[in-house]
Structure 1
Amino acid sequence: MLAAASAGVATLALAGCAVGGENDLTLATGSTGGTYYPLGGEIANLWSNNLEDYSITATVGGASVDNLRQLDQGEVELAMGVNATAADAVSSAGDFEENPLGDPAGIRSLGNIYPEILQVVTVEGTGITSIEDLRGKRIEMGPLGSATNTLAGQVLEAYGIDPDEDLAEQFDSSFGDAATNLGDGVVDAAFGILSAPTSSIEQLATTNDVMMLNIQGAALDRLLAENPLLSPHVIPGGTYSGVDGSNNTVTAWATLYAKADLDEQLAYDLTRVMYENSREVQHSAGDDIILNSAVDGLGPVQLHPGSARYFEENGISVP
C-alpha cells in the first residue's frame, strides 16, 4: 500500500499538480468585465464538482498573451486564450516575436470553448458611425498583452489608421471598465473580444443608445489575409437592446490550453467533463461548448494526447 501511494504521488508530481488532500489547479482567465472570468469560474466549478480529489480555481488574468506566458512559466496549469494568439505563441510571432515563450513547442490545446467575437462599440453623440471615424478619437483598445489589444491594432491598421499616431488617446482598461468609461463619456469607442451577448454591453445599452461598428469590405479582406485564423461573423440584430441591425465583424475561438507535460488521463478527464457537462454552465457561452467545433481553427497548436483520445472516441476527426 505504501508503494502504491508513493507511485501515486510521483504520478501527480509529474503532472505538475500540488500534492495534498486535494490537487489544486489554476485556470487563468481574464478581466472581471469580460467573458473569460465568469465563464472560466463556472468551468472551474464544473471540474471541481466532477473530478474526485481535484480542486480547480479560476483567477483573474491578463487575457490571452499574459495567460500563455503564465502557462509557459508554470505559474498556472490551465489557461484560456484566443486561438490566433496561441498560434503566434507557438510560432514566436506577433506579440511573441521579440519575447518568445521559454518552451513554445510545449503548448497544447484541450479544445475550443466558444467563438471569440470582436465587438467595436460606441454610443450616440460621439459622431462615430464607422471604423473610419475612429481617427482622432479616444479609444479603449483592451488591456495590454490581451488579444483584444492586438486585434484592435490590426483592425485599425486594416483601415489605414495608425493607433500610435492617428488616435487622440488610447486606453487599456478591462472591458467592464471600458464600457463604464464609454457610458460616462471618458472615451468615444471600445474594442472587446467577447461572447455575444455580453453583460457589459447590455448594461451599457440600458442607459445609452449603443451602436456596433461594422468591419467589412476591403478592410475586412486585408484583416483576414493578415490573420487567417479569423473568420467573418455576423451578430444578429436584437442581440443587444436597441441594436436592431445586424453587425458584421470577425471571430476567432476561445480555447483551453495546457502544457504538454500535463498528465494524459487528467487532460482526458478535463476535456470529458467540460464537453459532457456543458449544459450545467449558466453563462450564455456555455451553449457553444460543443464537440462539433471543438477542434476548429487550432492552427499550429497541437492537441494534448489526452484530449485527442477523448475526441477520437467520440467520432471527432482530430487534425
Structure 2
Amino acid sequence: MRHFICATFTAAMALGLAAGPLAAETRVTYKSAKSTSSYYQMGVQIAEAMKAGSDGDIIVTVEESQGSVQNVMEVRARGGDYVFTTPPALVGLAQQGKAMFEGKGDPAFDEIRALFPIPSLTMHFVMSKDSGVASIDDLDGKTILLGKGSFGAREGEKYLDLFGLMDKVQIADVELSGAVPAMKNGQIDGFVTAGSWPAPNVIEAAASTGVTVLSLTDEQIEMTKRALLVIPAGTYAGQETDIQTTSLPVVAFATTRMDDDTAYALTRTFWEGRAAMAEAAPWWNGVDEALMANISGKLHPGAVRYYEEAGFTLTDGQK
C-alpha cells in the first residue's frame, strides 16, 4: 500500500507563518508502520489533525512500512518530501554505521533531523490477579507469554535475563495475539507486551480477567538502560497506583532536504492538534514537552523555529 501526504500551503498566513507562503502542492510522504499496528493508526490521526489544523491546506495520507529500520534505510533514496518514524537510537546507529547498519552507511543518514515525538513503545508486564504476582521478583515458577519476533518479545527476554529469571520461568509457546484468551483459560500467568499506552490488549485483559501490571524498581530500570516512563493510576481497570516501567522513544523525522517552512508547519500543526487527538485516542496523553528530552539528535531548523516560538526548552545538541 502506497500513499502520499499532499500539502498545499497556499494559506500560510492562516497558519500564522512569519515567512512567506510555501510552494503550492508540497508533497510529503509519512512512512509509519504496518497497517495493522497502532503506529499506523497514529499516522492516520496525524493526517486528520494536519487537515483539521490547516483548514484543509495540509492533506495527509500515510504510507505503510515494514519497520523502523526500513524507514531509516529509505532516507538514502528519498528527497525532501519524506517524513518517517523510528526510535532516535536507530538514527544514531545509522549515522555511526553500527549494528544493523554496519557496512550500509550513507551520507544521507547525517541529514536526518527530528520533528516531534510520538507515543513511546512502553513495556508492560501483565499478570493475572489469580497468579498472585505483585512484583518482578514473584515471577519465579510462573508461565509467561513473550510472543515472537516483536520488540516486546525481544525486550521481555532481555529483561528476564537481566533480572536472573530466564531459567526460573516457563515461556509459553503462544502468539501474542492469543495472550488474553490464554490468560482467561489459565494457560499462562501473564504476558509481556510493548506498545503505546494504554495498550488495547492490556485494556482487554484488565477488563475481562483482572490483571496486575508490574512496576519496575529504579535499580531494574537502570539495568535495562531504557527511559523511565510512568503510566498514571487509573489507566487500566483496577489500577490504583502509578506503574513505573520503561520505554523506547519514537520520533517523527525528516531530513535537511525538507525546506524550513514545511518542517515548521508540520511541527506546529502537530502540537496544536495534539489535544484533539488525545480526546479521540488516549495514547496521545503520553506526548508532552517532557518527551522532547528523548530526542538525542538534532531537530530540523524549521522545527527549532516553532519550538523556540512556543517556549519549549531545547538542548544545545538539539539545535
**AA aligned opposite 2:146:** E
How many pairs align? 288
Equivalence for 1:40 = 43
Offset of residue 303 of structure 1? 0.9
State the alpha-carbon separation in 2 of the partners of residues 159 and 135 from structure 1.
Answer: 14
Unaligned segments of structure 1, at least 5 residues? 1-7, 9-18
Offset of residue 138 of structure 1? 4.5
Secondary structure class of the residue paired with 1:168: strand
- Structure 2 residue 316 is the aligned partner of structure 1 residue 312: no
Deviations 1:14-52 (A, max 9, x none): xxxxx9977352331456454x23322111221234455
User: Which of the residues 27, 30, 36 maps onto 1:26?
Assistant: 30
Is 1:80–1:255's contact at 8 Å kept on the other side of the alignment? yes
Equivalence for 1:113 = 118
Equivalence for 2:60 = 56
State the alpha-carbon separation in 2 of the partners of residues 237 and 53 from structure 1.
Answer: 39
Equivalence for 1:80 = 85
Secondary structure class of the residue paired with 1:40: helix
Equivalence for 1:238 = 234
- The alpha-carbon distance between structure 1 residues 220 and 201, as it changes in their structure 2 partners (threshold 3 A), is same
- The alpha-carbon distance between structure 1 residues 315 and 217, as it changes in their structure 2 partners (threshold 3 A), is closer
User: Which of the residues 123, 126, 149 maps onto 2:128?
Assistant: 123
**AA aligned opposite 1:42:** Q
- The alpha-carbon distance between structure 1 residues 182 and 33, as it changes in their structure 2 partners (threshold 3 A), is farther
Equivalence for 1:168 = 171
Deviations 1:64-83 (A, max 9, x none): 44443455554992223333
Deviations 1:125-154 (A, max 9, x none): 55755445277845325644x4x3453343
Taking only the aligned residue pairs, the percentage that are identical comes to 20
- The alpha-carbon distance between structure 1 residues 54 and 220, as it changes in their structure 2 partners (threshold 3 A), is closer
Q: Report the TM-score when normalising by structure 1.
A: 0.71
State the alpha-carbon separation in 2 of the partners of residues 28 and 278 from structure 1.
Answer: 18
Offset of residue 302 of structure 1? 1.5
- The alpha-carbon distance between structure 1 residues 47 and 243, as it changes in their structure 2 partners (threshold 3 A), is same
Equivalence for 1:208 = 209
Equivalence for 1:11 = none
Deviations 1:69-112 (A, max 9, x none): 45555499222333344444444445x35575644323221022
User: Which of the residues 140, 146, 158 maps onto 2:146?
Assistant: 140
State the alpha-carbon separation in 1 of the partners of residues 179 and 112 from structure 2.
Answer: 31
Is 2:115–2:252's contact at 8 Å kept on the other side of the alignment? yes
Secondary structure class of the residue paired with 1:302: coil
State the alpha-carbon separation in 2 of the partners of residues 194 and 28 from structure 1.
Answer: 14
Secondary structure class of the residue paired with 1:157: helix
State the alpha-carbon separation in 2 of the partners of residues 234 and 288 from structure 1.
Answer: 9
Offset of residue 283 of structure 1? 1.4
State the alpha-carbon separation in 1 of the partners of residues 205 and 103 from structure 2.
Answer: 37
Is 1:120–1:212's contact at 8 Å kept on the other side of the alignment? yes
Secondary structure class of the residue paired with 2:233: coil
- The alpha-carbon distance between structure 1 residues 61 and 215, as it changes in their structure 2 partners (threshold 3 A), is farther
Secondary structure class of the residue paired with 2:294: coil
User: Which of the residues 290, 294, 311 maps onto 1:297?
Assistant: 294
State the alpha-carbon separation in 2 of the partners of residues 254 and 188 from structure 1.
Answer: 30
Equivalence for 1:287 = 285
Higher RCO by CA contacts (8 Å cutoff, separation 6 or greater): 1
Runs of 4+ in 1 over 6 A off after TM superposition: 19-22
Offset of residue 270 of structure 1? 0.6
Offset of residue 288 of structure 1? 4.2
Secondary structure class of the residue paired with 1:237: coil
**AA aligned opposite 2:50:** W
State the alpha-carbon separation in 2 of the partners of residues 267 and 45 from structure 1.
Answer: 17
- The alpha-carbon distance between structure 1 residues 204 and 193, as it changes in their structure 2 partners (threshold 3 A), is same
**AA aligned opposite 1:284:** P
Is 2:30–2:43's contact at 8 Å kept on the other side of the alignment? no
- Structure 2 residue 183 is the aligned partner of structure 1 residue 159: no
State the alpha-carbon separation in 1 of the partners of residues 189 and 72 from structure 2.
Answer: 30
Offset of residue 271 of structure 1? 0.4
- The alpha-carbon distance between structure 1 residues 248 and 316, as it changes in their structure 2 partners (threshold 3 A), is closer
- The alpha-carbon distance between structure 1 residues 108 and 180, as it changes in their structure 2 partners (threshold 3 A), is farther
- The alpha-carbon distance between structure 1 residues 285 and 276, as it changes in their structure 2 partners (threshold 3 A), is same
